[in-house]
A and B are shown apart, each in its own frame.
Chain A
């Protein structure tokens, strides 16, 4: 570390700022409910594996947003994990292209029971705008059982959070 950086670090405030989102009542209320549900049902741990089954990547962008400081999903003990073997929940996006069908099945089978599947996005429901194409199946429930569907193209992060809350409440 250079002397300049050292001095910089001493005289300037850190780049970190207070957590945003406190001025958003809808988000705050949802966060409160999610927190309560996550604590009660899971003892603060729920692992999610995201599977893109041929999405346009729009839904992925909003899933990624759940990790930003505004939504900060991890504060409820809900985490995205790298392996289906560590997952309780699969979030599946996209119309399930025929080229992804097998990979989705493998991922589902690799996820230990009990497990839940959340289909995220309009095209995960029934293929959406892509329904009828030679290259897509009829949506996620055509391939694996679906516990909950969150609509939207893409759904807002707050809607995905609400979906997870509904899942937690139902999972009792």
Chain B
């Protein structure tokens, strides 16, 4: 499998310097081979994105990563989504942003473009005036069916998106999502940005994953420039990434229970989350640790007081979390809501390459920290918990186990933290150069791919949130469940709107 991808890339027109992410421009035949491998399930799609005259397909072929590019100077490319449904929304988005058409795509409706930008194809070769058209939701016919439109503004403090439920009595027959409300044009703003500004943009793609995004962005830049950062910086990056994972898992475990009308858990995990953020603030000067990871290393170092704050946090979490796990495990009314609710099949999780707890609760063991083993995770001991049930309960348990792993990772990092500098001067590129990185955020793997010009500015940067491979799965997951269980299912996925819409 890995050999096939290598061969396709070797036969294509190779681009850039060889990295862990070789890229080649390929012909229609090679493109079709890749689609076959995706359909067969032997490869996983990591991303699909456009630029003015090309589309790029990032692939994982049994651990061999690579990018195939298709020349679109005539504005067309063969649809991947026609055969491999996970590509459909990407192709709709590529059309919205670049005006490139996937030939054969069955669902040509716009995705990110709601007809409000005043321009269509804003990033393409020929931007045009906007031509708003009413959005057609999929029709649903049958006796006794009714539709419930929800959003974009939701009750509660959550991000905006639209859900269209078709229900038969209490039972959801179908859910159709409509997203794009938080589209900010981040990839458009990236073009021409210097690395400092670009890193800030990356860190504001999804606020709950600001560390993971800036981690991925920095590593992609460092690959492109052939730079290596000091060991201490690598370890502290992982420390921040694990603190971010802890904060989110704590917050979400409670929020999921809250949606099952069990508020007590939320009160406790909310306190734990707050304590993580306070320790992060003490250690790194920002509660979410935003703008601390920069290309070349870190903007701040960890001092003794910071280290002590994190140690105290770990002690507190080790004391306070186990009783909460016990509480979850022993509250029958709660289990009644989470067990067997919102089941995602292993087949769908694998087909979509669903990352994070969504994939791992449905038998998909991928975790970029382990599967790719980037520094410093290659030197750390941890397990990747996997479950098979695929229900809300399994997703909660994955989170619980990951909290325990993160606590151990943080202890290991503090114990073995290398001394020395935390930042290195980045070389100036002599010519256009490219890089990519995959980093495990709390929600799943984040892909960043970029091209930097000889002036050191970003030419094109693509950021792929894990939610792209999770949002579509929420639709089948809710089918056959009662409408009232949607918040619970939704929270157990906790996809990012902003990371997806960008």
A residues contacting B by CB (< 8 A) are: 1-2, 5, 15-16, 20, 50-65, 67-70, 80, 82-84, 94-95, 97-103, 106-107, 123, 129-130, 132-136, 153-154, 156
Contact = CB atoms under 8 A, between A and B. Distances in A.
B153 A103 contact: yes
Contacts of B251: 61, 64
A67 B270 contact: yes
Contacts, number: 151
A134 B206 CA distance: 19
Nearest to A100: B181
A77 B274 CA distance: 21
A65 B274 contact: yes
A129 B201 contact: yes
Given A58-B207, A61-B207, A68-B270, A130 B189 contact: yes
A97 B183 contact: yes
Residue among B118, B181, B264 having the largest count of chain A Cβ atoms under 10 Å: B181
B229 to A, nearest CB: 24
A54 B119 contact: no
B152 A100 contact: yes
A100 B182 contact: yes
A133 B182 CA distance: 13
Given A59-B207, A100-B152, A107-B153, A54 B181 contact: yes
Interface in B167-188: 180-186, 188
Interface in B243-302: 251, 264, 267-268, 270-271, 273-274, 277, 287-288, 290
B214 interface: no
B275 to A, nearest CB: 8
A81 B274 CA distance: 22
A133 B157 contact: no
Interface of B: 114, 116-119, 122, 152-153, 155-160, 180-186, 188-189, 197, 200-201, 204-208, 210, 251, 264, 267-268, 270-271, 273-274, 277, 287-288, 290, 323-324, 327, 330, 332, 496-498, 501
Nearest to A71: B274
A69 B182 contact: no
B153 A51 contact: yes
B317 to A, nearest CB: 14
Given A69-B274, A97-B182, A132-B189, 6 more contacts: A56-B206, A58-B204, A99-B182, A100-B182, A133-B185, A135-B183
A106 to B, nearest CB: 8
A86 to B, nearest CB: 10
B160 A63 contact: no
Contacts of A2: 330
A56 to B, nearest CB: 4
A99 B288 contact: no
Contact of A99 (B116, B122, B157, B270): B116
Contacts of B264: 15-16
Contact of B157 (A60, A134, A135): A60
Contacts of A95: 184
B205 A56 contact: yes
A62 B264 CA distance: 20
A57 B498 contact: yes
Nearest to A80: B157
B118 A98 contact: yes
Contacts of A99: 114, 116, 180-183, 501
Residue among A64, A134, A136 having the largest count of chain B Cβ atoms under 10 Å: A134
Nearest to A128: B204
A128 to B, nearest CB: 8
Contact of B184 (A60, A103, A133): A133
Contacts of B185: 130, 133-136
B184 A54 contact: yes
27 contacts: A2-B330, A52-B157, A52-B159, A56-B207, A57-B206, A61-B208, A62-B287, A65-B277, A67-B270, A68-B271, A68-B274, A69-B267, A69-B271, A69-B274, A95-B184, A98-B114, A100-B182, A123-B204, A129-B201, A129-B204, A130-B186, A133-B184, A133-B186, A133-B188, A134-B117, A134-B185, A136-B184
